[in-house]
Amino acid sequence: KGPNKVGYMGILQPFSDAIKLFTKEQIFPKYSNYISYYFSPIISFILSLMVWMLIPYYFNMISFNLGVLFFLCCTSMGVYTVMVAGWSSNSNYSLLGGLRAVAQTISYEVSLALIMLSSIMLIMDFNMMKFFIYQDLIWFFFLMLPLSMCWISSSLA
């Protein structure tokens, strides 16, 4: 039957899952560094929320001149939270897993940054509002189709 029991057609299922998640008992490894083990996922979540500030809207006209650079910095800072999370558990296996995740993330970020650099060279500005305005007639996705496919494959990996 699946998750169709909570609310109409399962609409309330994510909310019940969130309540269940927040009411569960928290278990920490015995020898872990508690502060960094607890706060590294929270900082990673905050960094991912900070990227949403860059979405340009016509109605509020907030112009952040270095928006693309801010996007690259926020996505790159997420690597450090993964590294701290792996280190703070004081387990060799989680440290190795964290280092492996860091190496993979950095390798994909290099290709994403280079692809974004090509679209920056099209408009010659770091402003996200100009990215939005320049794509009124034709999207950069269709203008640079091979690079767009590389962007999608790197983003999903």
Domain positions in the chain are: 31-156
What does pTM read for this prediction?
0.74
47, 132, 142, 157: CA torsion to nearest 10: 0
Per-residue pLDDT of the chain (157 residues; tens, 9 = 90+): 567 677 787 788 888 888 988 888 777 777 888 888 889 999 999 999 998 888 777 666 667 788 889 989 998 999 999 999 999 988 899 999 999 999 999 998 898 899 889 888 888 988 888 888 888 888 888 888 898 898 888 888 7
Do 72 and 32 touch, CB atoms closer than 8 A? Answer: no
